[in-house]
Amino acid sequence: MKPNSRAKLETLSPVWDEYELLDTGSGRKLERFGPITLIRPEPQAAWGPSLPPKMWDPAHGEFVQRHRTKRGEWKSSKGVPSRWEMRRKSLAFWVQPTPSGHLGVFPDQASHWDWITSQMKSALAPPKVLSLFGYTGLATLSAAAAGAHVTHVDASRQAIKWARENQSLSQLAERPIRWIVDDAQAFVAREIRRGQTYDALILDPPRFGRGPKGELWKVDESLPALLRQCRKLLSCNPLFVLLNTYTTVLTRNQTKNEALQLESFLKETLSDFALRFTSGELVFTDASGHQISNSVFTRATVTL
């Protein structure tokens, strides 16, 4: 199935008091995570900063990437806390600088958390939700807080531990969540053999990764096959499917093509269901109007 280049895409940016994209430029971005301001690399920011250096210099820390590697180090004149708490609506979670430059939360994903919550309103009974590549669990916790029974799968034992800490911090310890450390493809194959089904799927795959036993994941090669397997796990009347991946291109036209390719994959996989598909990108805009694309997505929902 070829992507429809004339399709209209959504551009979403969540409202969030505790996160702010303050400025961008010269390959960097200045962000505020609660009380902490940080500087991180941003390849899309090919323009010059809008704010003067005196607005960037007081940042608590900066992540400096090593040459030709995704790893780097945090440099700080003020001292960046080892971790601190952030909140959004009913969720509370730990933010923690990591050697990859990530912080355990992707703020743009808050648009998905809101959407997941809204989808639960049409469920006649608590739905069973499968969250693959669940990371630190914020999409999982959004679904659980809205009444779902969630199975959360991630290949990183550390990420699962972090997610469970977020569950406790959000006072959701009593909600029905299964935490599984496993390779997504291997877990899905086992669930098919067990005859398990789910009413909703959340997939947030990385571009590249390895499972706990060294299983190789390359999104372009692995995603279509995983989607075909996931189709076998869907119940007869699925509530929704959410597929999100992170932007790798630097121009808006190419970003559109990435989103439409995701939609094409999902439409082909779910062609025998009466579902409505919407696609787009998650963005943040700094105070000067420069827009940074963070990820692309496709959502499939029941046709009412």
pLDDT digits (tens, 9 = 90+) for 5-51: 566 889 999 999 999 999 999 999 999 999 999 999 999 999 999 99
In a domain, 167, yes or no: yes
Please name the helix (run of DSSP H) or strand (run of DSSP E) that holds residue 31, with its range, or none: strand 28-33
Could you read off the pLDDT of 196-208 as tens digits, one per residue?
A: 999 999 999 877 6
pLDDT number for residue 123: 85
- The lowest-confidence range among 69-73, 153-157, 214-218 is 214-218
Residue-wise pLDDT for 166-193, tens only, equals 999 999 999 999 999 999 999 999 999 9
Q: Which domain holds residue 226?
A: 10-14+83-302
pTM score: 0.92
CA atoms within 13 A on the CB side of 184: 28
Q: Is 25 a member of any domain?
A: no
User: Is 61 within the bounds of a domain?
Assistant: no
The label of the residue with tokens 């299964």 reads 178
Sign of the dihedral through C-alpha 134, 139, 143, 146: positive
> 244-289 pLDDT, tens per residue?
998 665 555 678 888 888 899 899 999 999 899 999 999 999 999 9
Q: Per-residue pLDDT for 145 more than 90?
A: yes
- The CB density around residue 182, as the number of other CB atoms within 10 Å, is 18
CA distance 146 to 91: 11
Q: Report the number of distinct structural domains present in the chain.
A: 1
The answer as to whether 283 is a domain residue is yes
**pLDDT computed for residue 187 by the predictor:** 96
Report how far residue 188's alpha carbon sits from residue 287's, in angstroms, rounded to the nearest whole number.
43
pLDDT number for residue 70:
64
Distance of alpha carbon 146 from alpha carbon 86, whole angstroms:
20
Q: What is the pLDDT of residue 36?
A: 96
Q: Assess if residue 65 is contained within a domain.
A: no
Residues 6 or more apart whose Cβ sits within 8 Å of residue 260: 3, 4, 5, 7, 9, 279
Residue 70 lies inside a defined structural domain of this protein: no
Contacts with 146 (C-beta within 8 Å, 6 or more apart), sequence order: 116, 117, 120, 121
**Is 59 part of any domain?**
no
Give a yes or no: residue 298 inside a domain.
Answer: yes
Residues 63-74 have pLDDT tens digits of 998 776 667 899
Distances (CA, A) of 101 to 14, 227, 237: 22, 29, 40
CATH number, domain of 147, equals 3.40.50.150
Tokens standing for 65?
């990437």
pLDDT above 80: residue 213: no
pLDDT band at 223 (very low <50, low <70, confident <90, very high): confident
Residue 60: predicted pLDDT? 95
pLDDT value at residue 122 = 84
The two structure tokens encoding residue 244: 């999100």
